[in-house]
Structure 1
Amino acid sequence: MTVQLAASGKLFLAGEYAVLDPGRPALVVGIDWKMHAVAEPGAPGLQILHRPSGLLWDGGQAPAELRFAARAALLAMAFCGKRGGVRISFEDDLSHDGRKLGLGGSAAASVLAVRAVCALADRPAGEDEILALAAGAHWAEQGGSGSGADVAAAALGGILEVRSRIVWQSAEEVMALPGERVAASRPLDVRRLAIPPELRLLLVDTGAPANTRSLVREVRAFARGAPARWQARAGEISAAEGKLRDALESCDAQSALDAVRRGAAAMAALGEDARVPIATPELAKACALASAAGAAGKPSGAGGGYCAVVVAFGDETRDRAEAALRPHFPVFRVAPA
């Protein structure tokens, strides 16, 4: 049996950093730019192939390109009671011309690895169980860090409001638990939003990589060292998320654009307070060009490089923003999956 699988890339629309506080929400979108994998019976044990690089892992320490998939597959095998005979081939990795864009490749790989194992096992899993296993593996592989919102976007697609309910204390705790307990843990609270029919999204590649783990670590250090200032900045980011959620649900285009701009400003202010380069000059330029064209832009995810997401309503505004941005940056049209 051969199974074809796909998982969505992600963009953050609002709530970055603040979502790391349990209970604070983020708005994410699983987009139609997808990662693909093939699952099939294989030799005894577990084999994972990364076709873009030709890397093959079949035990021991996994290479960087496959470490999230390896951990997720092992956790899924524990849940399914499958001892081996699994081969997973990743056909692509959400990169463009060999460069990462910050679209949640590790989250998508975790989701695909869990789905692959469960598809080949005699014990099928529900979507909630797949999401919990992928989120647990992803959180553990990040060293006990992350909100899981990117995993939800990869698994479910569409526009989602996600709150972290993670109660694990360490990566070791997650991996020591029986697979059934991880699958039943429900670490994420997810609510799906209707997609406004006029919503248009652009992905703007600033050409600069970002070290997301380092950015998050520095912001967490700021939060510990200046808790009152952190709460103020996180509150501003969360307020922008709430306004964007309400505007999208009511199809209020102008309020949605205002909320995106407010979220971008709140992220920049957090970066200034924490002395972390969240809003780089390239990201700021992309957002300014989008705003001047009648759209709105913000860093997607942790910032510091990678991509801006541009929100527009209607083809005319989307086209105008794209025309303003394209002389300066590679621009891609994307849509909720």
Structure 2
Amino acid sequence: MNLPRLRLPIVPASFFGMVLGLVGLGNSWRAAHAVWGLPSVVGEVLMLAGGIVWAILVVLFAAKWLAARDLARDEANHPVQCCFIGLAGVATMLVAMALEPYARVLSLGVFAAGAAFTLGFAVWRTGDLWQGGGRDPAHTTPVLYLPTVAGSFVTATACGALGFADWGRFAFGAGLLSWLAIESVLVHRILTAPQMPPALRPTLGIQLAPPTVGAVAYLSVTSGPPDLVAYALVGYGLLQILLLARLARWIFADGVKASAWSFTFGLTAFATAMVKMAGRGDTGPALVLAPFAFALVTALMAALILWTLRLFLAGRLLPAAPAPRPAVPEPPAALAERS
């Protein structure tokens, strides 16, 4: 008797961004609980939800490499999509931070796995980029931040949360200088190359992440009242928020899809940084703006979570499955006839 084969969905690596948004918001609520005494259960439920999504995505990502290796290799070799693979390690480190209050030994193991994957992927991907090869400017988008900048900043944040702030300072430096180098390339592309096609425009949401995630990383590996560096990072993040808000209609010309999660890690990091600055003794703008930033980001995230659930229930969350490769290359005549 032949049993039907179970077909798992082919999930792109970019879906790990959902883990970043959920755990990032949970981290904001943890900070708000510590500073303002808000209910701790909200942050812990968000952390749990992020952990569940992470576990599902890890299984599906591994299954893709086992059952649909051609598609997995295509993603790994794609000039844009491949950078999202780095989010697997970043998401794993965030899950380690979520676990830390409950199971420190397990948390350290999960962190070590995530950090090793993140560093290995960053070195592999950056090594490919350094070889050159006539890269198309259209492929230069903020996803380039993900391997080295996001990976290094989250490594620093996790090191601070797990009690290794001195090691985290190395990671912060790697992320900061990588960000400054890559940002100049991206801004040059945005100002001089042709306009981004609608499908790539949501990647601009990642532009918000370096300054705000960097601010959280900086606060995680330092102590005392927030200084000029913390203010500078959050200030640049605020400027990015205003620019992205001004471009929102253009960015989402194709509608709000799962790609909108590219905004969430930067947004939640902005709220977390503001709350932490208020909790670290700031008596100026951060103290005034933190409650508004926290409330606004929470509301935006709630709306996106509900919208994502609606897309999932309607069967429109996953991208269309790519056409299978032909087993034998088609002759030129057949290709010409089909086109």
What's the TM-score once normalised by structure 2's chain length? 0.30
- Which protein is bigger by CA-based radius of gyration? 2
Q: Whose RCO is larger (CA < 8 A, sep 6+)?
A: 1
Higher helix share: 2
